[in-house]
């Protein structure tokens, strides 16, 4: 029974989280209580507790994590300065000649907004408020409109740059180094956040293309589900203006931020500061920058950043106590006992993460689960970038899957009363199938995630 204490600790933490208790306080409080009881029972060494302050200090001075508040600031500024609203209108103008042009516009704008914020709830709610009434007025079937918006809102899990990938990259990097130390490699390699950004680009673009192709095919073969947009008489003039003023500035900002990271010209933290300043300049150019907006953005940035760091502290305490009870050895033994080796172990982890995605947020799973299973899986020979991308897409699928997907609840909160919940559920099913197909493709073609990082690292070494 003592050998199973790590799993009991994990299960109790999950139960408290499901009951609605704060994430960081739950992980820290339950873990410390288990440590005290373990010490009294003589099965826990308090030396693991003495390591916690140094680990927390390492979090607070981690340069990579400084990118979190800057990316949050950038996304919040783009959202509150109504740049996304203007971008949607201009993209609709550019693509209205295509079958499903409005739906494709929503996907592309959602991709850019998701890349900026990286927060599923913010993207779904924003796009739902901006786009759902427009799509319904244009005659789009409610199920198709809702499915498109829900799927688009989850793109922040995989489209770089986003805080989700920053946090996952940091956790995977630590897990990779721990895996190498466990294997006796005392000069370990590391995986950077820019490697994860590069690895997520091709799968993310494939996902966006697949979403767009589905909407295009639906509008082409069943136009009653996605009627064409009525054209205006001044379309020629407006098209050029839309491309020049509405589309180019925000796209240029995203490309500048991401490109500087991938080309090695800037660290994620440096690039995120450029993004934050660029978002302010775009807001200023639209005459939307004011003291009130700056105050709102600053408050939102402080709130999200504080939440992330507090969860990090709680997760650090949890992982230390979990290891003190021999949790890492237990997980390794469980994986070794599975028939099928690394394939079965990876499949089991993906299934657990998928199910946890129904009850826990991305940040919670990143800090609670990945540090526990990551070192063991990576010790079995998996590529860290591939594993991180698979986890991100897996969670994205979980957030989209009925009946518990977070994305569905976020859209339900802003959808008109005439749109029933069943329509939302029905609309996301084709997009869930697309997600699963991408996961299968990545499982058999890991090069989709590893090719670009290897190419960029090879160029950097030459």
Report pLDDT digits (tens) over 79-112. Answer: 777 777 777 777 777 787 788 888 898 898 888 7
Query: So what's the pLDDT on residue 20?
Result: 76
Phi, psi of 214 (to 5 degrees): -65, -45
Q: Which comes out higher in pLDDT, residue 286 or 28?
A: 28
Query: Residues 233-268, buried b or exposed e (16+ Cβ, 10 A)?
Result: eeeeebeeebeeebbebbeebbebbbebbbeeebbb
Stated as kind and residue range, the H or E segment containing 282 is helix 268-285
* Residue 333: partners with Cβ closer than 8 Å, 6 or more residues away: none
Question: Using an 8 Å Cβ cutoff, are 374 and 349 in contact?
Answer: no
Average pLDDT over the chain, rounded to an integer: 84
pLDDT tops 90 at residue 429:
yes
DSSP 119-150: -HHHHHHHHHHHHHHHHHHTT--HHHHHHHHH
Determine the Cα angle at 139 with ends 421 and 82, to 5°.
80
Mean pLDDT, to the nearest integer, of 72-80? 81
Give the residue with greater pLDDT, 261 vs 385.
Answer: 385
Q: Per the structure block, which two tokens stand in for 117?
A: 């914020």
Reported confidence tier of residue 234, pLDDT bands at 50, 70, 90:
very low
Please give the residue that has the higher pLDDT: either 212 or 115: 212
In this prediction, residues 232-255 reach a mean pLDDT of: 66
Whether the pLDDT of residue 233 is over 50: the answer is: no
Residue 461 has pLDDT above 70, yes or no: no
pLDDT value of position 279: 87
Average pLDDT rounded to a whole number, residues 57-75: 84
| Band of pLDDT at residue 388, cut at 50, 70 and 90 | very high
Mean per-residue pLDDT, 291-317: 88
Q: What is the pLDDT of residue 46?
A: 86
Q: Please state the rounded mean pLDDT for residues 319-335.
A: 84
pLDDT in tens, 151-202: 988 887 888 877 788 888 888 988 898 888 878 877 777 888 889 999 999 9
Q: Per-residue confidence at 462, pLDDT binned at 50, 70, 90? A: very low
Residue 90 and residue 286 in contact, taking contact as beta carbons nearer than 8 Å: no
In the predicted model, what is the mean pLDDT of residues 210-214? 95
Helix (H) or strand (E) holding 168: helix 163-182
């Amino acid at each position: 029974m003592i050998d199973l204490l790590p799993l009991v600790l994990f299960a109790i933490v999950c139960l408290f989280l499901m009951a609605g208790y704060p994430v960081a306080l739950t992980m820290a409080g339950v873990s410390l209580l288990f440590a005290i009881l373990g010490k009294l029972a003589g099965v826990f060494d308090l030396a693991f507790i003495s390591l916690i302050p140094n680990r927390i200090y390492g979090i607070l001075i981690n340069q990579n994590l400084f990118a979190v508040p800057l990316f949050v600031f950038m996304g919040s500024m783009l959202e509150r300065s109504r740049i996304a609203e203007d971008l949607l209108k201009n993209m609709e103008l550019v693509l209205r000649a295509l079958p499903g042009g409005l739906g494709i516009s929503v996907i592309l704008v959602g991709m850019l907004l998701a890349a900026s914020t990286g927060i599923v709830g913010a993207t779904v709610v924003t796009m739902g408020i901006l786009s759902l009434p427009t799509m319904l007025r244009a005659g789009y079937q409610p199920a198709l409109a809702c499915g498109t918006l829900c799927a688009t809102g989850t793109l922040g899990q995989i489209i770089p740059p986003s805080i989700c990938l920053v946090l996952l990259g940091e956790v995977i990097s630590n897990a990779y180094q721990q895996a190498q130390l466990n294997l006796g490699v005392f000069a370990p390699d590391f995986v950077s956040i820019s490697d994860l950004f590069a690895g997520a680009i091709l799968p993310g673009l494939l996902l966006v293309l697949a979403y767009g192709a589905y909407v295009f095919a639906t509008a082409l073969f069943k136009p009653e589900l996605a009627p064409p947009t009525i054209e205006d008489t001044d379309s020629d003039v407006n098209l050029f203006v839309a491309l020049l003023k509405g589309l180019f500035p925000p796209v240029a900002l995203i490309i500048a931020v991401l490109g500087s990271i991938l080309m090695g010209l800037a660290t994620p933290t440096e690039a995120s500061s450029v993004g934050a300043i660029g978002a302010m300049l775009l807001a200023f150019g639209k005459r939307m920058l004011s003291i009130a907006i700056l105050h709102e953005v600053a408050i939102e940035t402080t709130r999200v950043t504080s939440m992330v760091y507090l969860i990090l502290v709680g997760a650090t305490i949890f992982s230390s106590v979990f290891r003190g009870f021999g949790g890492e050895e237990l997980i390794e033994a469980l994986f070794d006992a599975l028939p099928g080796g690394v394939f079965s172990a990876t499949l089991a982890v993906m299934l657990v993460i998928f199910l946890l995605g129904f009850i826990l947020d991305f940040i919670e799973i990143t800090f609670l689960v990945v540090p526990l299973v990551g070192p063991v899986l990576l010790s079995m020979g998996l590529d860290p970038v591939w594993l991180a991308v698979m986890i991100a897409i897996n969670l994205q699928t979980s957030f989209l899957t009925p009946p518990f997907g977070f994305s569905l609840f976020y859209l339900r909160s802003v959808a008109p009363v005439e749109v029933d919940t069943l329509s939302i559920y029905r609309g996301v099913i084709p997009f869930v199938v697309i997600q699963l197909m991408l996961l299968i493709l990545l499982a058999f073609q890991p090069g989709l995630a590893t090719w670009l990082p290897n190419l960029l690292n090879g160029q950097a070494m030459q």
